[in-house]
Amino acid sequence: MSGLEAVAMTLTTHKEKVDYMNKELDLIKAVVAIAEQLITSRDYRKSLEIIVNSLSQLTGAARSCIMIENQKGEFVIKAGCPTGGHGVNMVVTPAIGENFLRSVIKNGEMVVIDNPREDERVEYMRGLAYTYDLAKILFIPLTYHGDTIGILALDFSRGHEEVQLPADLVGMLANLAAGAIGSEYERRRNEAKTMQAERACVLGRNEADLAHKFRNALTIVVGYARRAEKAHKAKKYRATRENIEASLRGAEELEVFTNDLLRFANPKEVYPEPVRLNALIEERVLSTVGDMQGVEIILDPALSEIFVMVDPVRIGFATIDLVRNAEQETEEVALEDRRIVVTTKLMRRKKCAVITCANNGKIIPPNDWETIFSPFYTTKSGGTGLGLPNVRQSAELHGGTARVVMSTTEQTVFEITLPL
C-alpha cells in the first residue's frame, strides 16, 4: 500500500468516525429538545403526543404508541402516531395482545419482533403486519422509580428507513416517556391528598350544621311515620296514606343528602373507561326527570361517533346533580313555562367534550357564580349544599372544569368540560 493510499484510508476512517459522532451529537440534541418540550408542556396528553411523534421521527418508525396500565389494571392506548391510527383510549384485551404485553411488563426488558408476520407472540398483529408491511416491532417497558407503568411500541415497515439507535439512547427516550407519565401520576396523587385534607377541614367546620340537618330530616321522617301509625289505628286510611307519603318524601331527601355527603367526604378514585357520552347523558337525564315537562336533551351527533374516557358513575352523578339543581331553580316557574335543556358538544379544536344544563329559573348574581360551588352553600330550603360542589369535584378529577357560563332573565347555563 502506498503512502497516499494509507493517508486516504486514514482520512476515510477519520471521516466515518466524525460522521458517526455528528450523528450521535444530533441525536443527543434531539433528545434534549424533546426533554425541553416536555418540561414546558403543562398538558399531560400533549406530552404523550410529543413523545410518540418525536420517537417516530428519530427512529424512522412508521407507527408508535404508548400503552399504560390504568387504576383498574387494564392496558389502555394513551397516545399514538400517526394521529388517529391507533384507537387511542381503547382498552387492550387478551384478543389484541394483553397477555403478551403483561409478559413484557413482567420481564422488564425490551422485546424485538423481527418477523411480525410469522412470530406467534404477536399473532394478534398479523393483519396490521400485512397492512403496513411491518418488518420489525420493538416493545420497550416504561419504568418509573422501579415500577413498570406501561409500554412503548415502535413499528418499523419496509417502506421506512430504520435509524439504528444505540441501546442506551433508546433507554433514555423510554425514560423520558416514563418520567412524563410518572410525574402525572404523582401530581394526581398529590392533588387527591390535598383535596381529601381540604374536605376533612370543611366537614369539621360544618359538623354542627350537619348534625342539625340530619336531626331535622329524621324528625320529619319519624314524625310523619308516627302520625301514620295513629291514623291507621283510628282507621283513618286517607290520613294514613298521606302521612306515609310525607314520611317517604322525607326519607328520600335524607337519602339524597346522605349520598351527597358520602360522595363529597370520601370520593373514590376515578376509573375512566371508553364511554359513548351521548348515551350516558341521555340515560341519566331520563332516569332523573321521568315524565317531567319542559325538559329537552340536545346531543351532538359527533359525540356518538367516538368514545370519551370518563368514569361513567362519576359523570352520571354529575349530570344528575345538574338536572336536580335545575329542577330546584325552576320550582317557582309554571309547569307549562318550565324549560331545562341538557346538551352535549364535541369541541375538536379544544380537544374536549362539553355538557351544559340550562334552565329558565332564578338569576344567579355574578358574585355568586363561584360561591355556589362552595360546600354546604345553598339558597334553597331543601338543598344540601353539596350537589354543585360534587359536580365540580367530578369534573376536576377528570382534568376538566365546572362553572356557570351565564345567568340572565332568559336562562342560566352550567357547563362541564371533559378533556378527550
User: Do the beta carbons of residue 329 and residue 359 sit within 8 Å?
Assistant: yes
Give pLDDT tens digits for 153-166. Answer: 888 888 766 556 55
Q: Is residue 108 part of a domain?
A: yes
Q: Are residues 57 and 84 in the same domain?
A: yes
Q: Point out the least confidently predicted range of 57-61, 111-115, 294-298.
A: 57-61
Q: Is residue 155 part of a domain?
A: yes
Q: Are residues 8 and 137 in the same domain?
A: yes
Q: Which of 233, 250, 266 is the last residue in one of the domains?
A: 266
Instruction: Give 11's pLDDT tier (boundaries 50, 70, 90).
Output: very low
Q: What is the CATH number of the domain that holds 181?
A: 3.30.450.40
The pLDDT, as a whole number, for residue 124 is 87
Q: Are residues 44 and 18 in the same domain?
A: yes
SS3 content of the chain, % helix, strand, coil (to 5): 55, 20, 25
End-to-end CA distance of the chain: 67
Q: Are residues 284 and 401 in the same domain?
A: yes
Mean pLDDT of 90-106: 84
Q: Are residues 223 and 371 in the same domain?
A: no
Q: Are residues 312 and 409 in the same domain?
A: yes
Exposure string over 44-58, b if 16+ CB within 10 A, otherwise e? bbebbbbbbbbbbeb
Q: Are residues 280 and 416 in the same domain?
A: yes
Q: Is residue 388 part of a domain?
A: yes
Q: Are residues 306 and 362 in the same domain?
A: yes
* Other Cβ atoms within 10 Å of 275 Cβ, number: 20
Q: Are residues 69 and 160 in the same domain?
A: yes
Q: Could you say which DSSP state residue 91 is in?
A: E
The pLDDT, as a whole number, for residue 79 is 84
Give pLDDT tens digits for 381-418. Answer: 656 677 888 899 889 888 899 999 999 888 999 999 99
The pLDDT, as a whole number, for residue 275 is 86
Q: Is residue 195 part of a domain?
A: no
**Of residues 33 and 416, which shows the higher confidence score?**
416
Q: Are residues 230 and 244 in the same domain?
A: yes
**Cell reading at 119:** 412470530
Q: Which of 248, 266, 284 is the last residue in one of the domains?
A: 266
Mean pLDDT of 255-269: 68
> To the nearest whole number, what is the mean pLDDT of the chain?
78
* Cα–Cα nearest to 417, from 327, 320, 313, 347: 347
Q: Is residue 198 part of a domain?
A: no
pTM of the complete model beyond 0.75: no
Instruction: Give 224's pLDDT tier (boundaries 50, 70, 90).
Output: confident
Give pLDDT tens digits for 241-260. Answer: 888 887 887 777 677 667 76
Top mean pLDDT of 29-38, 288-297, 384-393, 399-408 is at: 399-408
Q: Which residues contact 39 (CB under 8 A, 6 or more apart)?
A: none
Q: What is the CATH number of the domain that holds 297?
A: 3.30.565.10
* Residue numbers of the domain that contains 65: 3-186
Residue 189 and residue 41: Cα distance in Å, rounded? 19
Instruction: Give 14's pLDDT tier (boundaries 50, 70, 90).
Output: very low
Q: Is residue 191 part of a domain?
A: no
Q: Is residue 106 part of a domain?
A: yes
Mean pLDDT of 352-374: 89
Q: Is residue 196 part of a domain?
A: no
* Other Cβ atoms within 10 Å of 95 Cβ, number: 8
Tell me the percentage of the chain whose pLDDT exceeds 70: 72
Q: Are residues 350 and 334 in the same domain?
A: yes
Q: Which of 266, 289, 316 is the last residue in one of the domains?
A: 266
User: Do the beta carbons of residue 119 and residue 113 sit within 8 Å?
Assistant: yes
Q: Are residues 140 and 125 in the same domain?
A: yes
Give pLDDT tens digits for 183-217. Answer: 776 776 776 677 666 666 666 666 666 665 667 66
Mean pLDDT of 28-41: 57
* Cα–Cα nearest to 60, from 16, 23, 87: 23
Top mean pLDDT of 135-149, 213-227, 240-254, 368-382 is at: 135-149
The total number of structural domains that make up the chain: 3
Top mean pLDDT of 172-181, 224-233, 369-378, 410-419 is at: 410-419
